[in-house]
Chain A
């Protein structure tokens, strides 16, 4: 059984009279340690898929497996534990706690688990040793995103989920963030799932999944993922 598997996952939104199928029997899998990129048009259901995978939302139909466990069957409480122990989330808009310093934002996540990563080392890893005591409002977008990444991985998640992590970042910063993901995947063996609109990024992925109006239209393994440094867009 693959590490991550979606079995006919559907998500139906009903707004007033309009019924919308954001995911339509999506079927795909990702193997452990892979860096997967999910692409698709706007509205294709990428975010929906990621939210379901991250335990922030439930599918209307179908099952979602992570490491052999059916996530879609978990209770709210179990889901909270699932998010806490297995998932790291990186948002497009960082979502740092404004009232905490960069370091404290990371520390907060670290306090949630039994065996967190060393926060100081982590800050060094994301290149923010010097900005530890700054509040988010005092950090640039890239720095904030890196803080968010540090916060996500401080819990030693099995799975790192990133929804357009570079969307709000400039080219260079975006690149450095992506580099971070690649090294996490390669060096630390963390399974990383990245949503992006930037198809250039697919070059660095082990696996590229394409969504089309709620269904998986392709799930391709990239035999030769390239280093981020080599990618240009």
Chain B
């Protein structure tokens, strides 16, 4: 009996394997989906937990403003419960990669977060190669670097602005391996103020590679068994945080006080040294001055002497010159005298000549006269002689006598003249004597003058010598003077130098003192895992699937119940005769039902088991792979709760066994006699539509048939509609999710936050300083940008459920709306008026705050609060913002408004945002900056991950559609084999037969759309509410085109199944099927 029972069950399974598989498959799918989604989060958490435990992710990261030393570490490790405390050096550096051939890949393009290796906390998971064993070996970030880096050299930049190599003992490393670090479980590597700001990858080197006085940070690992993210863990760690903080404070304060004392001493020493050196310098300067003054006096003396000498010499020069003049004039005089004498001499000589001449003339005259007188007398005689003769006349004697008288006169006169000449000669001789005397005198005077001149020449030479001497002493003086001037210059320089250097030294000391005075008590920071970006986002990201884990499987279970019911009904009616005979033979109803229960139960248990085992692996695995882009830190560790198994199995059995019992009972609710008789095919019935004659008459014949068929099998119609509507709604949800998340990042960063950079300046920088730096930079690099100055504060709002970080932006810059798009329902609005604030939509929604309500923000370390009225709620998609005017800010915070931030939108494309920020931080004191683009990328990446969830949903919808359609079509066809064979015999062509069968399907699919679309809208809304992220507000929307896509997708699913079913119809053998009934 038992074995017979088992046999019948197995024969049934064999005979109707397709049906068995249908139940099996739908249960497997439902359970798989349910268990899989439910197991995803636990698996993820377990994966992370195992990873963190294995590699000992720090529970706390400790920082102090004055570093941490080994003593601090020692002190900290005494805390109860602490497993490991390790000091770590950490520094962001610029590096370049040099390959084995020595080729530099790029010159310092990588910003690397360089850590020292630690043991017992934040250990590394080796992916390739080995860990460093020497100070010059390095292991790199597996997420970014590939194994062909191994063997390459990593060189830290030298002498760059960021002082990359400062604090490093080694600057060239050989890559020996690739690692993952528990510190970095997601893809984000963080930001830094080095290089471009974005960290490229992390790297670890041995501690010895660093050369720093203090550890950058300390890492504490407790090694608790608490589940990550669990309340127990959070509670425990928040209690520990205080303890650790106190410890660290103590340790650091002790060291700080020592440091202050030491520093003060150093400064004081500095002052002493300063004073001494100042005194010394002053003394030296005084000496120098004195020497200078002496030489100045000497120079003055010399100057006087020289002046005197010059004076004397000049006078002497005058004397000599005058003497020369006198001598010269005497000479001239003498010359004149001599000239006169010479002239006189010449006259005298002339006069002597003339006298001689005159004498000769007078003598010769006398002689001639005497001659004449003689002659005359001779004549007279002669004549007188003659007279007798009478040749001559007495007249001629008279005339000769007269002439003789005259000649006698003339002789008298000539004698007179000779006597006169003799007198003149005598006068001349006197004169000549005088002349000779004069000549003698001149000769003597000349000698005298010559003498004087010689004397003068001697004087001149003597003067010249003195003059030369003077010149030498003048030169000497000049030299001395120059020396003095130089000395004085030197002295002045010395004074100046002393002034500046002493001022410098003084300033340094003053500054040092000021710095020291300013040095605040050291601050310590104890950062829990909640400050680890990867750790935190992992919690959020891993729970995204959890929300939908309940609703989706519901569909599947409902379908499973329907599939099971129709299948079992079909089965029972197939085996009706057999049942009748068994009943007639005396088998109890229970025994018979047991067979079907066993049948469906077996299908359910097998399906459930496979679904469970497959689901809890497949879903977490697939989603993990999807997450792999963000979190590829380790292979997935599968984890599922027992209750998920229990619930899955219970539901599976309910869907199968319970449904089977009901179905079988209903089918067998008649006498065995009835059962033995073949059950007439479900009778045809008139349908409601036929009563509407107008429509009915207009319908084509085959349309009427299909219409009737649809209502003939109500349960199947229902199942079809539920299945396909479910599938439709899933696909709509899928596309809708995509619609809802697709644009928010773009909308947020194109329409709301239109700026590229948020640059926060040090408080010391004034508003005009900020503007100047920006305009300077713009000019220098030819950048066009649009900037707005604002006051940015990080405040918090405590809501019912959560404390939310809110970015408060206060500005009244007229330009502000071009940088920050305030919109309500898509319409631009004015900046909020005085005394009010505008808040972002998510913040408002989450806390039920509406325009007109008031909102409280906390700020500062002591949790001061301000309350302000909400003007309106503006459209915003990522993060929370509160917007107000400058006046409101000043009024609210009771302080003068001063902008601390520039929101910059770069308009020209000759510079990238990070570069701009970097350049700006080079020329002014930038406290921090962030590029919108990096946030944008991060969010876009997350949104893209959600797209893969969309694909998963659509995949599941396809699976659902396929199972439902296959099962239904299968049952439909097998139940209507005779009908179909008859049609074929009647001569229906292949297409006609197919469309006769599937027209109903098409109509049902259309009907399913009517149900599925609203269902899809509702499901979409539900899913969106489930995957709600606190900082992101989705635009819950389904675009019209998505409906088209969805319907087309479902229609394609239907067509695929139909195409497969066509073959089944083709296979129907007319001869065979019509042979007989059963």
Whole-angstrom distance between the Cβ of A172 and the nearest chain B Cβ: 23
Assess whether B986 is in contact with A101, with CB atoms less than 8 Å apart: no
| Stretch from A32-40, A81-89, A199-207, A212-220 contacting the other chain | A81-89
Return the contact of A98 from the options B681, B986, B989 (Cβ within 8 A): B681
Say yes or no for A80: interface residue by CB 8 A criterion. yes
B705 touches A99 (CB 8 A): yes
**B1076 beta carbon closer than 8 Å to chain A:** yes
| Complex Cα spacing A42 to B285, Å | 147
With a cutoff of 8 Å between Cβ atoms, the chain A residues found around residue B1076 in the complex are 92-93
Pair B705/A87 contact, Cβ less than 8 Å: no
Residues on B with C-beta less than 8 A from A101 are: 684
Q: Mark B698-736, 1 if CB is under 8 A from A, else 0.
A: 000100110011001000000000000000000000000
| B988 contacts across to A, CB distance below 8 A | 80, 84, 112
Q: Does A97 contact B (CB under 8 A)?
A: yes
Which residues from chain A contact B688 at a C-beta distance below 8 Å? none
B8-56 at interface with A (beta carbon < 8 Å): none
Encoded as 1 (CB less than 8 Å from any A CB) or 0, chain B from 678 to 690 comes to 0011111100000
B990 CB within 8 Å of chain A = yes
Q: Which residues of chain A are within 8 angstroms of B985 by Cβ–Cβ distance?
A: 54, 56, 83, 89, 95
The interface residues of chain A lying within 8 Å CB-to-CB of B237 are none
**Across the interface, which residues of B come within 8 angstroms of A99, CB to CB?**
684, 705, 708-709, 712
CA distance A228 to B716 in the complex (A): 47
Contact A81 B1075 (CB under 8 A): no
Q: Does A109 sit at the interface, judged by CB under 8 A? A: yes
A108 at the interface (CB under 8 A from B): yes
Known contacts A83-B987, A95-B978, A109-B986, A51 near B684 by CB under 8 Å: no
Contacting pair B684 A84 (CB below 8 A):
no
B1011 interface residue per 8 A CB criterion:
no
- What residues of chain B lie closer than 8 Å to A104, measured between beta carbons? 701, 704-705
The chain A residue with its CB closest to the CB of B986 is: A109
Q: Is B1074 an interface residue (CB 8 A)?
A: yes
- In the complex formed, the residue of A with least CB distance to B983 is A97
Closest CB of chain A to B50's CB: distance in Å?
Answer: 57
Task: Given A93-B1076, A99-B712, A111-B701, verify A77-B990 contact (CB < 8 Å).
Answer: yes
A137–B680 CB distance below 8 A: yes
**Cross-chain contact A112 with B1074 (CB below 8 angstroms):** no
Which among B682, B978, B990, B1077 is the interface contact of A80 at CB below 8 angstroms? Answer: B990
CB distance from A72 to the nearest CB of B (A): 15
Q: Does A107 contact B (CB under 8 A)?
A: yes
Does residue A100 face the partner (Cβ distance < 8 Å to B)?
A: yes
Q: How far is the CA of A87 from the CA of B709 in the complex (A)?
A: 27
In this assembly, does A60 line the interface, its C-beta being within 8 Å of a C-beta of chain B? no
A95 & B982 in contact (Cβ 8 Å cutoff): yes
Q: How far is the CA of A31 from the CA of B979 in the complex (A)?
A: 32
**Separation in Å of the A168 CB from the closest CB of chain B?**
10
A76 to B1069, CA, bound (A): 12
Are B987 and A137 in contact (CB-based, < 8 A)?
no
A residues 108-148 near B (Cβ < 8 Å) are 108-109, 111-112, 135-138
Q: Verify if A7 is at the interface (C-beta below 8 Å from B).
A: no
B683, B712, B981 interface centre (most CB from chain A within 10 Å) = B683
Q: Name the residue of chain A whose CB is nearest to the CB of B682.
A: A98
Q: Given A47-B1075, A51-B1071, A111-B701, A80–B984 Cβ distance below 8 Å? A: yes
B292 within 8 A of A: no
Q: How far, in whole Å, are A60 and B984 apart by their CA atoms in the complex?
A: 21
CB atoms of B709 and A83 under 8 A apart: no
A57, B705: Cβ atoms closer than 8 Å: no
Give min CB distance, B1073 to chain A, whole Å.
9
A83 vs B708: C-alpha distance in the bound complex, in angstroms? Answer: 26
A93 and B1077 in contact, given A85-B987, A98-B682, A137-B683 (Cβ under 8 angstroms): yes
Known pairs A95-B982, A107-B701, A111-B701; A81 contacts B684 (CB<8 A): no
Known pairs A56-B1070, A99-B708; A89 contacts B685 (CB<8 A): no
Contact B684 A137, beta carbon cutoff 8 Å: yes
B987 proximity list for chain A (CB < 8 A)? 80-85, 87, 112, 155
Check B683 against A91 for contact (C-beta < 8 Å). Answer: no
Interface size (A, Cβ < 8 Å)? 38
Write the chain B residue with the least CB distance to A151: B986
**Alpha-carbon distance A83/B984, docked complex (angstroms):** 8
CA distance A117 to B475 in the complex (A): 155
Query: Could you tell me the distance between the alpha carbons of A57 and B981 in the complex, rounded to whole angstroms?
Result: 12
Residues of chain B with a CB closer than 8 A to A83's CB: 984-987
Of all chain B residues, which has the CB nearest A152? B986
> Could you say which residues of chain B place their CB within 8 Å of the CB of A89?
985-986
State A92–B988 Cα separation when bound (angstroms). Answer: 20
Q: Is the CB of B1071 within 8 A of A95?
A: no
> For the complex, what is the distance from the CA of A137 to the CA of B979, rounded to whole Å?
14
- Determine the chain B residues whose CB is within 8 A of the CB of A91 once the complex forms: 1074
A83 to B1074 alpha-carbon distance, docked (Å): 15
Q: Tell me, rounded to whole Å, the shortest Cβ–Cβ distance linking B1004 to chain A.
A: 15
A contact residues around B712 at 8 Å (CB): 99
A104 and B986 CA atoms in complex are apart in Å by 14
Contact A98 B1070 (CB under 8 A): no
Q: Which of B680, B978, B981, B1074 has most A Cβ within 10 Å? A: B1074
A163 nearest in chain B by CB position: B1074
- The CA-CA distance from A97 to B680 in the complex, in Å, is 12
Which residues in chain B, 948-1000, are within 8 Å of chain A measured between CB atoms?
978-979, 981-990
Contacting residues, chain B, for A136 (C-beta < 8 A): 683-684
Nearest CB of chain A from residue B833's CB, rounded to whole Å: 73
How many whole Å from B711's CB to the nearest CB in chain A?
Answer: 10
Please provide the chain B residues from 1055 to 1078 with a CB less than 8 Å away from any CB of chain A in the complex. Answer: 1070-1071, 1074-1077
Instruction: Give the complex CA separation of A83 and B992 in angstroms.
Output: 14
In Å, the complex CA distance between A175 and B1077 comes to 23
Known: A97-B979, A99-B709. Is A135-B683 also a contact (CB below 8 A)?
yes
* A138–B680 CA distance with the chains assembled, in angstroms: 11
- A88's closest neighbor in chain B, by CB? B986
* Closest chain B CB from A232 CB (angstroms): 28
User: Which A residues touch B986, using CB under 8 A?
Assistant: 83-84, 89, 108-109, 112, 151, 155
| CB under 8 Å from chain A, chain B span 1022-1078 | 1070-1071, 1074-1077
Are A98 and B979 interface neighbours, CB within 8 A?
yes
Bound CA–CA A56/B987 (angstroms): 10
Could you tell me the distance between the alpha carbons of A137 and B705 in the complex, rounded to whole angstroms? 16
Contact A77 B989 (CB under 8 A): yes
B684 pairs with A100, CB closer than 8 A: yes
On chain B, the residues within 8 Å of A56 by CB distance are: 984-985, 1070-1071
**Contact of B1074 with A98 in the complex, beta carbons under 8 Å:** no
Encoded as 1 (CB less than 8 Å from any B CB) or 0, chain A from 39 to 55 comes to 00000000110010010
When distances are taken between beta carbons in the complex, the residues of chain B under 8 Å from A51 are 1070-1071
Q: Which residues of chain B have C-beta atoms less than 8 A from A98's C-beta?
A: 680-684, 979
Q: Which residues of A contact B979 (CB under 8 A)?
A: 97-98
A229 to B1054, CA, bound (A): 56
Q: In the complex, A56→B1071 CA distance in Å?
A: 6
Which residue of A is nearest B678, CB measured?
A: A93
* B701 contact set on A, CB distance < 8 A: 104, 107-108, 111
Complex Cα–Cα for A15 and B6 (A): 27
- Residue of B685, B978, B986 with highest tally of chain A CB at under 10 A: B986
Contacts A83-B985, A108-B986 supplied; 16 other A-B pairs, CB < 8 Å: A56-B985, A56-B1071, A76-B990, A80-B984, A84-B989, A87-B987, A91-B1074, A93-B1074, A95-B1074, A97-B684, A98-B682, A99-B708, A100-B708, A112-B988, A137-B680, A137-B681
A-B contact list, 7 entries, CB within 8 Å: A80-B988, A93-B1074, A95-B981, A98-B682, A99-B708, A135-B683, A137-B681
Q: Closest 7 CB pairs between A and B?
A: A84-B987, A137-B683, A135-B684, A83-B987, A99-B684, A98-B681, A56-B1070
Chain B residues near A (Cβ < 8 Å): 680-685, 701, 704-705, 708-709, 712, 978-979, 981-990, 1070-1071, 1074-1077
A interface residues with partner B (beta carbon < 8 Å):
47-48, 51, 54, 56-57, 76-77, 80-85, 87, 89, 91-93, 95-101, 104, 107-109, 111-112, 135-138, 151, 155
